[in-house]
Copies of this chain bind each other. A is one copy, B any other.
Amino acid sequence: MTLNVALFGAGRIGKVHAASIKSDPRARLVAVTDVMEEAAQALASEHGITVRSASEILEDKSIDIILIASSTNTHADLIERGVAAGKAVFCEKPIDLDLERARRVRTSVAASGRPVMMGFNRRFDPNFSSLRTAFVAGEIGKGELLAVTSYDPAPPPVSYVKVSGGLFRDMMIHDFDMCCWLFGLPDKVTATGSCLVDPEIGAAGDIDTAVVILHYGDGRIATIRNSRRAVFGYDQRLELLGSEGMLSVENQLETTVRKSTTAGVQSAKPQLFFLERYMRAYETEWAAFVDALSNDTPMPATVQDGVNALALAEAANLSLTEGRTVTVTAQMTGQAG
């Protein structure tokens, strides 16, 4: 049986998902919707499908899955409407910029019993997933120190920064999820940050450079370093020290060409940007979603995971503002009483 999929959002990331669906024989893209009529129409004709309104899609019983790749402020509503309409939902991160709202979505989804997966794409990157497999298999013993390096090649426009929710919610959210995925939810968060890349970002009340420490009750420590600018490319690395060794993920380079001259030995830059670096991750992510649906197994990235990452971002913001270490409470992650 083929799963019918409707796509919300015909932008850059929507197109990536459309391609994944197209190459998956188990699914069929049947409709697209976007507030930008033209974008929706272009994607529709490329895929030979129709543009429909959100309501039409949600009411159509023949549609099994909605894939939410529209703007962040629509995610929470669409997830709730999707599960209410009985759909399976795949939603790009984040659930919402507001943690309280995200927690309500979690409650709604739990009540609905419908499967929802959050698009934490890095979990499906072959490098990170292979590292995690080795770690979980005990290949380096017990985890001790985790360090995530995550630099964007260049800052986004300030107009985007203003509505992004800030660096912790917009950019470091991926790294928070990575740490939770490998080490679980931390007990405390210490954040520091500054504006070194673009003064306009500072003027907009945000930071562009940040370091966060995640403290675990048993003594494990994770650190995350973010910058909005690495002129050499998209820098996505991780290393994990354990009691019996270390695992690390290096960047994928554009080519393996090396040039040796009197100036030294020159290699290629890291792949630029996330669409290149995580191309395989997006395909695998989709397949994992359909696998979980088909086999009725737990989603590999849940709404709770989305809430957790957002709670860490909120704790980081608080830590930065108040200049102190912040405890991550069960209330923050919606797990309390």
Contact = CB atoms under 8 A, between A and B. Distances in A.
A279 to B, nearest CB: 10
A323 B195 CA distance: 25
Contacts of A219: 194-196, 209
Contact of A230 (B246, B258, B325): B246
A222 to B, nearest CB: 9
Contact of A259 (B210, B227, B247): B247
Interface in A220-242: 220-221, 223, 225, 227, 229-233, 235, 241
A337 interface: no
Interface string A249-274: 11111111111111111111100000
B213 A211 contact: yes
A291 interface: no
A243 interface: yes
Contact of A256 (B244, B250, B255): B250
A321 to B, nearest CB: 13
A33 interface: no
A47 to B, nearest CB: 11
A246 B259 contact: yes
Contacts of A209: 144-145, 219, 221
Contacts of A264: 232, 266-269
A126 interface: yes
Interface in A2-59: 25, 46
Interface residues of A, number: 70
A238 to B, nearest CB: 9
A331 interface: no
Interface string A138-163: 01101011010101000000000000
A231 to B, nearest CB: 5
Interface in A182-231: 190, 192-197, 209-211, 213, 215, 219-221, 223, 225, 227, 229-231
B243 A229 contact: yes
B223 A246 contact: no
A70 interface: no
A130 interface: yes
Given A151-B241, A246-B230, A257-B131, A265 B262 contact: no
Nearest to A139: B259
Given A221-B192, A230-B241, A241-B230, A134 B265 contact: no
Interface of A: 25, 46, 126-127, 130-131, 134, 139-140, 142, 144-145, 147, 149, 151, 190, 192-197, 209-211, 213, 215, 219-221, 223, 225, 227, 229-233, 235, 241, 243-269, 323-325
Please provide the 7 A-B residue pairs with the shortest distance between their CB atoms, ordered closest to farther: A194-B219, A245-B261, A232-B260, A250-B256, A246-B260, A265-B267, A127-B255
